[in-house]
Amino acid sequence: METADKENPVISKVEEKDASSVVAVAGHPLHAMMVHFPIALVFSTLGADIMYWWGADAFWLRVGLWTTGIAFFSAIAAGLAGSAELFLVPGIRARVASWAHAIAGMSLIAVCGANWGGRFFLQIEVLPHGLLLTALACVLTGLAGWHGGKLIFDHGIGLMVSPKD
Ligand code: HEM
């Protein structure tokens, strides 16, 4: 029996469009390879900020500055690869979920930029402002990461099925 979704002509039209990854190296989608860096470094910054709160050792300020900076620039790089997929692939562009994920990703990049730029250019206090920005970045990382996973596993977006499969 046909499902209600299959009978919906709008959904059928979206499903007809190809949603395979085009920004890839040797069959490996680039965005999926790059997102691990901001994810790991945002949570490393949380660790560094908590260590600074706990022991007031200035070493952790320097660690936090580096981790939040690399999180910001690696998130920009990942965002560029993700945006290329979004603009170039008709089946990705046509799905509302892809745009919702892009908004979560852009919000994360903005907060990482504020966190690193604030520390580097404005010398904001890590306690509490830096730590609060890091906490917000962790929440947004969770949202963007979880939603990115949904794009792959629920919507089948950005896959590269090998001819061997
Ligand atoms: C402008 C920002 C972004 C755009 C337009 C974007 C777009 C996309 C797209 C189109 C996909 C589907 C897979 C593909 O086609 O490669 C995806 C997957 C994913 N994205 Fe993003 N993304 C952005 C930023 C981010 C950021 C900053 C993160 C970090 C948390 C992230 C985490 C993920 C994850 C974890 C997946 C699933 C990858 C997998 O499991 O293979 N995205 N994204």
DSSP annotation string for 69-123: HHHHHHHHHHHHHHHHHHHH-HHHHT-HHHHHHHHHHHHHHHHHHHHHHHHHHS-
> What local confidence, expressed as pLDDT, does residue 15 receive?
79
How confident is the model at residue 165, as a pLDDT?
Answer: 61
**CA gap 95, 14 in Å, rounded:** 7
User: Which pLDDT belongs to residue 14?
Assistant: 80
Nearest to 133, CA basis, from 141, 79, 12, 51: 141
* Mean pLDDT in order along the chain per 10 residues (165 residues): 63 82 90 97 98 98 98 98 96 94 98 98 98 98 97 84 63
State if residue 82 touches ligand 1 by the CB under 6 angstroms criterion.
Answer: yes
Query: Per-domain residue ranges for the chain?
Result: 27-154
* Smallest CA separation from ligand 1 atom 6, residue: 82
DSSP element (H, E) containing 13:
helix 9-16
Please work out whether the CB of residue 20 comes within 6 Å of at least one atom of ligand 1. no
> Which pLDDT belongs to residue 12?
80
Q: Which of 54, 60, 45, 65 is nearest to 122 (CA)?
A: 65
Q: Quote the pLDDT of residue 1.
A: 45
Phi, psi of 29 (to 5 degrees): -55, 130
Cβ atoms < 10 Å from Cβ of 121? 8
- Tell me, using a 6 A CB cutoff, whether residue 74 lines ligand 1: no
Tokens 């007031």 belong to residue: 56
- Closest by CA to 38, choosing from 131, 119, 104, is 104
> d(Cα 124, Cα 107) in Å, to the nearest integer?
20
CA 20 to centroid of ligand 1, rounded, Å: 13
Residue of 75, 40, 49, 44 lying closest to 129 (CA atoms):
49
